[in-house]
Structure 1
């Protein structure tokens, strides 16, 4: 019976650990949420795609304490505000960061095309603000420096990340507890082939439609064109993009970089001649595979 008991104990411990690493963002009522018959969808094929998120949460990957730097990065997967490329631009990066001693936290945020949400354009930012506040509240428990918490977003997740980085002071939900009294400002941010502008001709039409609807007002377009929202308080930013990106034009990164320089925000940008859209870790192309080295070097040298 002893081997069986040992195996049971191990499995039990693993279950507890797994449960402890996944946290719902909202302890009480989820803002801008209504009950419907809609169900979350998880499709596992070449990558894991999640659609119709009903319960937003964070999935936490912590490095071994022996190598932990105290730095943490919240990860916002892309997917045009229609799905989340959850492993490709999420958990794969969390695991990569752990190898560098950095905590990786994947944010499963609600999508504005869900029929379970009301004010659709506010929903991703609500979850993003709550996510970074939650991580900040757990800093001591997770061996994280509360002043060294950043974000990375990919494609539409890059738009959400840049929205958090420029709209972190915006009150988009009513406070629920003491967590909501903490700052939602990222200490740094990384934007990978991001959607930035909602304006023509460089926006990504699918992301804009899902977030803002068919015929958004000019006021709403400008509000979520994040190159227009940069200030001197915008966090230091690392950008990367490919010139031949047919999904999200490289001009998105160029517009944001120009705004950062104008406001004297520390910025680093890497533009690759080829790579297309959605290359993630870039392991499929030799010339792209080194971008993470550049990124980690930048992370290590942040003041």
Structure 2
């Protein structure tokens, strides 16, 4: 009987240690560009956990064991066309996979553009993204990571948000709230998976509409066409995409790669002949799933 009691105690203790930490991005009642409304966050599970109408943005922190930790971290932006978040498929599943390589992983549940609960909805995802990387940087000691080895990874529209952060990290899109906001929002490296990049000719129409509205000005289109916003300070970037992507044309990655090359930014790109859109880890595709190993090799090459 004592044996079973001890076993249960050990299991419970392990569960408590293994729990992942969810932290609010913002202090209570101090969320930038937020309007109080009756809008409620929605969670739907259809093989994938879809989250929409986010009201209280958070980060969910997944840490490897200290002995396996390599000291780097990745902040993860799930995709979903700026309408929903494919939260596990392109978020928590990615985080757990990164932990297996000793990388701390932080999933961002960022706010999606809303005419009901936000002002200047086009800036809201970037506001949350800047805050997320600053918050992670502020917790570097707690998370056992190097504050100078914090990268980002985004998928589809999450790739657009990641590339927006990587090209607009110095843009002042919200007023300082606390000491966290004194830290840099520049990622140390970027990984973009089948990303939305441009809002021009090869745009993903849905992402552009949900972020900018139905009739955006040319100035707004150019501002959020991130191939036009690359500078020499844009972080080193890895892109991967499938040629047969029927949702986000592969030209999005090609345009960004060319812009990086033109500005002397270290860049790598893997274009696969098949894979379609939204393949996440692609674990059931023996060829496509190789993108993860290419990514780990690339991250090591940056050191």
Q: TM-score range by the shorter chain?
A: over 0.9
Per-residue displacement from partner, 1:234-287 (whole Å, max 9, x unpaired)? 000000001111100000000000000000100000001111101111123221
Count of aligned pairs: 301
Note the C-alpha offset of 1:233: 0.5
Note the C-alpha offset of 1:45: 1.7
Contact 1:232 1:263 in 2 (8 A): yes
Match of 2:95 in 1: 94
Task: Supply the RMSD in Å over aligned alpha carbons.
Answer: 1.8
Question: Against the structure 1 CA distance between its residues 286 and 115, is the aligned structure 2 distance closer, same or farther, given a 3 Å change threshold?
Answer: same
Match of 1:129 in 2: 130
Separation in structure 1 between the aligned mates of residue 10 and residue 68 of structure 2, nearest angstrom: 27
Match of 1:169 in 2: 170
Note the C-alpha offset of 1:194: 0.3
Per-residue displacement from partner, 1:135-192 (whole Å, max 9, x unpaired)? 0000011100000000000000000000000000000001110000000000000000
Contact 1:82 1:113 in 2 (8 A): no
Note the C-alpha offset of 1:301: 1.4
Match of 1:299 in 2: 299
Gaps of 5+ in 2: none
Match of 1:266 in 2: 266
Match of 1:111 in 2: 112
Q: Does 1:25 align with 2:18?
A: no
Single out whichever of 112-121 and 49-58 deviates more from structure 2.
112-121
Contact 1:81 1:111 in 2 (8 A): yes
Separation in structure 2 between the aligned mates of residue 301 and residue 17 of structure 1, nearest angstrom: 30
Separation in structure 1 between the aligned mates of residue 115 and residue 67 of structure 2, nearest angstrom: 42
TM-score by length of 2: 0.95
Match of 1:143 in 2: 144
1:47-126 map, 5 Å? 47-113=48-114, 115-126=116-127
Separation in structure 2 between the aligned mates of residue 171 and residue 249 of structure 1, nearest angstrom: 31
Note the C-alpha offset of 1:222: 0.5
Separation in structure 2 between the aligned mates of residue 187 and residue 155 of structure 1, nearest angstrom: 20
Per-residue displacement from partner, 1:21-78 (whole Å, max 9, x unpaired)? 1100001411111111111111112111101111100000000111111000000000
Gaps of 5+ in 1: none
Separation in structure 1 between the aligned mates of residue 8 and residue 289 of structure 2, nearest angstrom: 40
Match of 2:241 in 1: 241
